[in-house]
Structure 1
Amino acid sequence: MTKLLLSLHVLAAIVAIGPVTVAASMFPAAVRRGDRDAMRVLHRICRVYALIGLAVPVFGLATAGSLGVLGDAWLIVSIVLTVVAAAVLGLGVLPGQAAALASGPALSGGGPALSGGGPALSGGGGSAAAPARLGMVAGVFNLLWAVVVVLMIVRPGSTTGA
């Protein structure tokens, strides 16, 4: 059963989190180009796969329970980083993308600043700053997942033998 749960956990991570990280990273470039069709598609990918991505921690916790490692420090850190990544996605990336989509033609230069669309876009600045902020927030999201992946592979201090 453990091998099945671990397989489902890894598959869910690849199938769900992978597309979100790629789409979130591509979105700022679509904003810079003013490619609203690409922006809509990338935002939809992020939203839909974020929901599908909820399966990753579910299968992960089930796997950890079957391995008896729920109290291990590497797993607790991974859980905390996963929660932080989910918060960055839900409170930064997705609202920032929605604000960029709602801003309309102001993205192509000289228009009003994108602000008030969530933490990813707050802080003022011109329309040229919005893609940079979106890129930064997406980068933080991606970095958090990279650290979680490394922790899952290395498992520092784990007695399960890595």
Structure 2
Amino acid sequence: MTKFLLSVHVLAAILAVGPIAVAASVFPRIVRESAAADPAHRGGTAAFLHRVCRAYAVVGLAVPAFGLATGAQLGVLTDAWLLASIALTAGAAALLALAILPGQQRLLARTAGDAPAAADDGLRPAATRLGMLTGVFNLLWAVVVVLMIVRPGSTTGA
């Protein structure tokens, strides 16, 4: 059962977090380009990337669910490396839900008008900030992956 839970956990992480990492990373550049485009061609790709992030965020709930089930099965729920991974995962989830997704929504709303966005309307700094937040989100997940592989102090043999 442990191998099944671990397999589902890893697959869920790859298939859910991967698309979020890519779509969220590309979003700021695409929304800036979209803002300068003809209103008839505005927002389609950026809106699609936002939908990808939202949908996969829901699917991504399987990652910690199966991760906790795997940790319980292995008896490592109190190990420091796992507790650190849980805290980092919670931080990444909070960042996604409270900053990245709302930030994408705000930028989409700013670019929804009929006129091209002016260079000084604050779109660029907002998109840059969103890109930075996405970088932090991706970095948190990278650290979680390293912790899952290295498992410092683990007695399960890394």
TM-score by length of 2: 0.90
C-alpha distance in 1, partners of 2:117/2:124?
8
Q: Does 2:74 correspond to 1:67?
A: yes
Distance in 2, matches of 1:159 and 1:95, equals: 41
Alpha-carbon distance in structure 2 between the residues aligned to 1:132 and 1:16: 24
2:66 maps to 1:53: no
Runs of 4+ in structure 1 off by over 6 angstroms are none
Question: Partner of 2:38 in structure 1?
Answer: none
CA RMSD of aligned residues (A): 1.3
Letter paired with 2:74: L
Distance, in Å, in 2 between the alignment partners of 1:75 and 1:129 is 36
Q: Residue 143 of structure 2 is aligned with which of 127, 140, 147?
A: 147
Between the aligned partners of 1:28 and 1:109, the Cα distance in structure 2 is 16
**Is 1:12 the counterpart of 2:19 in the alignment?**
no
Q: 2:46 aligns with which of 28, 39, 46?
A: 39
Aligned length: 149
CA contact (8 A) 2:28 2:131 kept: yes
Higher relative contact order (Cα pairs below 8 Å, separated by 6+ residues) = 2
Percent identical: 63
Q: Secondary structure at the match of 2:77?
A: coil
Offset at residue 127 of structure 1 (A): 1.8
Q: Describe the shift of the 1:107–1:128 C-alpha distance in structure 2 as closer, same or farther (beyond 3 A).
A: farther
Preserved contact between residue 32 and residue 107 of structure 1 (Cα < 8 Å): no
Residue deviations 1:44-66, cap 9 Å, x none? 00000000000000000000000
Shift of 1:107: 7.0
